[in-house]
């Protein structure tokens, strides 16, 4: 027992043997719930105070209309950087959407040069080339030459009459003697030919849709420096022609009836034709080269095939080469002159050499220099010896002319080719 409380302590209980537990205490049966007390009946409770009786929910009548004007805040929301503050009540105007632009349509240029590596005689065969262009261009060029000749002649006639000249006579058998004055007739004919150069460039640009001055060289321009260099071989041609002519005359004496015993006319009589010839002959000779070695060679060369492969390979190789164009231009050049016999053969060789040099050097500069120097000598010598009155007569010549002209042409051809290599002149575009 606990000494103070009197409660039994565990150690007071009898000790159980080791390995055994004491039996649990005996449980008493559940006596059940307590008996009910005397609670009042439900109807005896007083009613709840402060709550009205429930009447149920009213039937639905629909939603009320939304308010028209919401209260607006006096201060707007802060505007982020890069945006625009709009007044209250205004609708924001959004900037138009910037859509990426499509790639622009690339318009094909009106004028297209020949592809790189094209030789001179095929410069007209550009991506714009069509079979009708060289033909139509040649016809248009012929019409332009006729119209320009009429315009220049009428303008010349007006100034001639204003300066007190007589009405010209058109009874000349050659068509070159119009005003009855050798110097004036020569000047008029040189001007009529000299104005044709721009027409050739215009036909190339307008009809064939290629660079205008592609008729001059593979660089689509006149190579002035190369033209100046070509004057040296051209001068050598004139000197060699005179020297070989004197040598041939010593070996094969000419017919005495063909020898003109001309003499120096004096400086006073020579100065006027000198000025006319020096100023106008370069334009006349250059215009003929633009027509025959420029336009005509390229017009014929444009019809050559693009490839030598296929049927009739020999014909493809032939017409792709420059020789058909050189031959046709040489024949055309000789036919517009009034030479006959061996003189016709001589000018045919001259035109052939000029055409080959044009293709070989990639431009007409060498041909222009050769033609200019030849014509200067051909006009200045008779002007100095009193034979300019017969400047328009183009007759025949003895066969010995070939003996003097062929070596001279060989010398100038060799000189030009050597000089072109030394100067690294472009031969293709």
Query: Domain-by-domain residue ranges, the chain?
Result: 120-423
- Is 357 within 8 Å of 370 (Cβ atoms)? yes
Q: What are phi and psi of 363, to 5 degrees?
A: 180, 170
Report the pLDDT value the prediction gives residue 418, as an integer from 0 to 100.
97
Q: Torsion angle of alpha carbons 413, 414, 419, 421, nearest 10°? A: 110
From the DSSP assignment, how many helices (H) and strands (E) are in the chain? Answer: 11, 0
Q: pLDDT tens digit string along 322-370? A: 999 999 999 999 999 888 889 999 999 999 999 999 999 999 999 999 9
Residue 228: count other Cβ atoms within 10 Å of its Cβ. 11
Least confident of 101-110, 278-287, 353-362: 101-110
User: Does the pLDDT value for residue 407 go beyond 90?
Assistant: yes
Q: What is the mean pLDDT of residues 28-57?
A: 60
Report the pLDDT value the prediction gives residue 330, as an integer from 0 to 100.
96
User: Does the pLDDT value for residue 7 go beyond 60?
Assistant: no
User: Does the pLDDT value for residue 154 go beyond 90?
Assistant: yes
The phi-psi region of residue 310 (left if phi > 0; otherwise alpha if psi is between -120 and 50; otherwise beta) is left
Closest CA to 134 of 305, 326, 302, 318: 302
User: Does the pLDDT value for residue 181 go beyond 80?
Assistant: yes
Distance CA 117, CA 426 (A): 10
Distance CA 240, CA 233 (A): 10
pTM of the predicted model, to two decimals?
0.74
Q: What is the mean pLDDT of residues 124-133?
A: 93
State the pLDDT confidence band at 50, using cuts at 50, 70 and 90: low
Distance CA 137, CA 210 (A): 12
User: Does the pLDDT value for residue 20 go beyond 60?
Assistant: no
Q: What is the mean pLDDT of residues 16-39?
A: 62
Least confident of 43-57, 232-246, 343-357: 43-57
CA atoms within a 13 Å half-sphere pointing along the CA-CB vector of 103: 3
State the pLDDT confidence band at 260, using cuts at 50, 70 and 90: low
User: Does the pLDDT value for residue 242 go beyond 60?
Assistant: yes
User: Does the pLDDT value for residue 199 go beyond 90?
Assistant: yes
Residue with tokens 């003109």: 260
Q: What is the mean pLDDT of residues 309-332?
A: 91
Distance CA 142, CA 189 (A): 17
**Range 257-279 burial, b when 16+ CB lie within 10 A, else e:** eeeeeeeebeeeebeebeebbee
């Amino acid at each position: 027992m606990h000494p103070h409380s009197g409660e039994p302590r565990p150690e007071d209980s009898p000790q159980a043997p080791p390995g055994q537990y004491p039996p649990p205490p005996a449980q008493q049966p559940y006596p059940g719930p307590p008996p009910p007390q005397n609670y009042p009946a439900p109807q005896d409770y007083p009613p709840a105070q402060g709550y009205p009786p429930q009447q149920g929910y009213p039937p639905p009548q629909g939603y009320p209309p939304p308010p028209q004007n919401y209260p607006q805040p006096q201060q707007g929301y802060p505007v982020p950087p890069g945006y625009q503050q709009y007044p209250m009540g205004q609708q924001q105007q959004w900037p138009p959407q910037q859509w990426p632009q499509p790639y622009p349509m690339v318009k094909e240029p009106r004028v297209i040069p020949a592809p790189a590596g094209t030789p001179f005689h095929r410069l007209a065969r550009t991506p714009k080339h069509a079979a009708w262009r060289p033909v139509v261009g040649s016809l248009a060029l012929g019409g332009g030459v006729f119209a320009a000749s009429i315009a220049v002649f009428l303008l010349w006639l007006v100034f001639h009459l204003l300066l007190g000249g007589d009405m010209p006579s058109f009874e000349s058998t050659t068509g070159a003697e119009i005003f009855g004055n050798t110097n004036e007739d020569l000047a008029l004919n040189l001007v009529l030919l000299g104005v044709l150069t721009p027409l050739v460039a215009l036909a190339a640009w307008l009809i064939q849709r290629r660079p205008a001055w592609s008729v001059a060289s593979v660089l689509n321009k006149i190579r002035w420096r190369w033209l100046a260099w070509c004057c040296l071989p051209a001068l050598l041609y004139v000197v060699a022609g005179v020297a070989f002519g004197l040598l041939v005359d010593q070996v094969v004496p000419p017919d005495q009836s063909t020898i003109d015993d001309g003499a120096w006319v004096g400086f006073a009589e020579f100065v006027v034709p000198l000025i006319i010839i020096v100023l106008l002959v370069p334009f006349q000779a250059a215009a003929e080269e633009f027509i025959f070695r420029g336009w005509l060679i390229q017009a014929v060369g444009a019809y050559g095939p693009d490839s030598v492969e296929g049927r009739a390979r020999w014909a493809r190789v032939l017409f792709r080469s420059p020789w058909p164009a050189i031959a046709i231009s040489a024949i055309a050049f000789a036919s517009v002159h009034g030479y006959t016999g061996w003189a016709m053969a001589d000018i045919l060789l001259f035109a052939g050499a000029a055409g080959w040099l044009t293709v070989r050097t990639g431009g007409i500069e060498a041909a222009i220099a050769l033609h200019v120097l030849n014509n200067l000598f051909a006009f200045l010598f008779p002007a100095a010896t009193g034979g300019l009155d017969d400047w328009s007569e183009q007759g025949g010549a003895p066969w010995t002319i070939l003996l003097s002209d062929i070596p001279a042409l060989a010398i100038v051809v060799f000189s030009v080719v050597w000089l072109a290599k030394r100067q690294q002149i472009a031969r293709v575009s």
